[in-house]
């Protein structure tokens, strides 16, 4: 059982920290920062709603990102479209295990893990879960740290497409799937930014 600190929080004391210049001011007296004029808010506005919308958008777009090919490999005049998973299988068959693992991690494990963690955090805040406070914040930080690695996939396709242009011998062309995948990555990045991890502690405090 996690112990919640008994000291009053900044929110309970009516204090707001400016997100731009970090000046602490009394929330009741100001709507914008007295020093830098940035808008002041106790918590990120509409955090849950915005995070839900972005997360569900990412989850929906992840389906076409996997169904449609992300690139076509044209060798000796013969083209073969690859989805994310068939690309991983092709890399394994070509004995390129390390690259296959990187693509699998960046395109399956990280985005799916991120969507699952976001949904878990949102649900846990909404039902007012009072346990595993620290663990949930650690999950949030892990997601923030590793979430950017999904971009590796986009870079991989764009680098391959620009490098492998050997005329009739071999060419790689990006396909529509990579656009859907890029949208998934961008939406999950924004979703993680929209979520305010302080809500985890707020709900536990409110029900103390
Ligand atoms: Zn400020």
Ligand 1 centroid vs 90 CA: distance in angstroms? 52
Ligand 1 centroid vs 30 CA: distance in angstroms? 11
pLDDT by residue (tens digit) across 96-111? Answer: 888 889 889 888 998 9
Ligand 1 centroid vs 159 CA: distance in angstroms? 41
pTM for the predicted model, two decimal places: 0.83
- 83 and 33 co-located in one domain: no
Say if residue 49's pLDDT is above 90: yes
- 12 and 108 co-located in one domain: no
- 173 and 89 co-located in one domain: yes
- 77 and 180 co-located in one domain: yes
| Rounded Cα–Cα distance for residues 204 and 83 (Å) | 44
| Rounded Cα–Cα distance for residues 57 and 174 (Å) | 23
Domain count for the chain: 2
Ligand 1 centroid vs 18 CA: distance in angstroms? 5
- 56 and 70 co-located in one domain: yes
Say if residue 20's pLDDT is above 60: yes
Compare 164 and 144 and report the one with higher pLDDT.
144
Segments in the chain forming alpha helices (H) = 47-67, 84-93, 97-104, 110-126, 133-146, 151-163, 176-194, 198-206
Strands 170-174 and 71-75: antiparallel
Ligand 1 centroid vs 40 CA: distance in angstroms? 8
DSSP single-letter state for residue 83? -
- 131 and 55 co-located in one domain: yes
- 21 and 86 co-located in one domain: no
Mean pLDDT across 165-188: 84
Ligand 1 centroid vs 33 CA: distance in angstroms? 5
Compare 194 and 201 and report the one with higher pLDDT.
194
Instruction: Say what the alpha-carbon torsion angle 90, 94, 98, 104 is, to the nearest 10 degrees.
Output: 10
- 32 and 107 co-located in one domain: no
Contact 70, 82 (CB under 8 A): yes
Ligand 1 centroid vs 133 CA: distance in angstroms? 29
Ligand 1 centroid vs 49 CA: distance in angstroms? 25
- 50 and 144 co-located in one domain: yes
Ligand 1 centroid vs 43 CA: distance in angstroms? 15
Quote the domain boundaries for residue 155: 44-206
- 32 and 70 co-located in one domain: no
| Rounded Cα–Cα distance for residues 82 and 70 (Å) | 6
CATH number at residue 70: 1.20.140
- 108 and 151 co-located in one domain: yes
Ligand 1 centroid vs 71 CA: distance in angstroms? 46
Using left for φ > 0, alpha for ψ between -120 and 50, and beta otherwise, residue 128 falls in left
Ligand 1 centroid vs 25 CA: distance in angstroms? 9
Ligand 1 centroid vs 146 CA: distance in angstroms? 29
Chain mean pLDDT for the chain: 85
Ligand 1 centroid vs 98 CA: distance in angstroms? 46
- 65 and 154 co-located in one domain: yes
């Amino acid at each position: 059982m996690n112990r919640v600190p008994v000291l009053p929080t900044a929110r309970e004391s009516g204090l707001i920290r400016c997100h731009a210049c970090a000046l602490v001011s009394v929330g009741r007296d100001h709507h914008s920062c007295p020093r830098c004029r940035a808008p002041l808010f106790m918590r990120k506005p509409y955090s849950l709603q915005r995070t839900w919308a972005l997360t569900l958008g990412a989850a929906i777009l992840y389906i076409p990102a996997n169904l449609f090919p992300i690139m076509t490999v044209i060798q000796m005049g013969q083209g073969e479209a690859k989805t994310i998973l068939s690309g991983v299988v092709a890399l394994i068959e070509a004995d390129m295990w390390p690259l296959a693992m990187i693509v699998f991690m960046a395109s399956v494990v990280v985005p799916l893990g991120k969507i699952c963690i976001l949904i878990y955090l949102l649900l846990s805040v909404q039902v007012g879960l009072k346990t595993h406070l620290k663990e949930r914040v650690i999950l949030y930080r892990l997601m923030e740290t590793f979430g950017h690695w999904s971009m590796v996939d986009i870079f991989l396709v764009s680098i391959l497409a620009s490098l492998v242009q050997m005329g009739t011998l071999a060419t790689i062309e990006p396909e529509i799937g990579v656009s859907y995948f890029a949208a998934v990555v961008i939406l999950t990045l924004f979703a993680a930014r929209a979520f305010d991890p302080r809500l985890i502690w707020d709900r536990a405090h409110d029900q103390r």
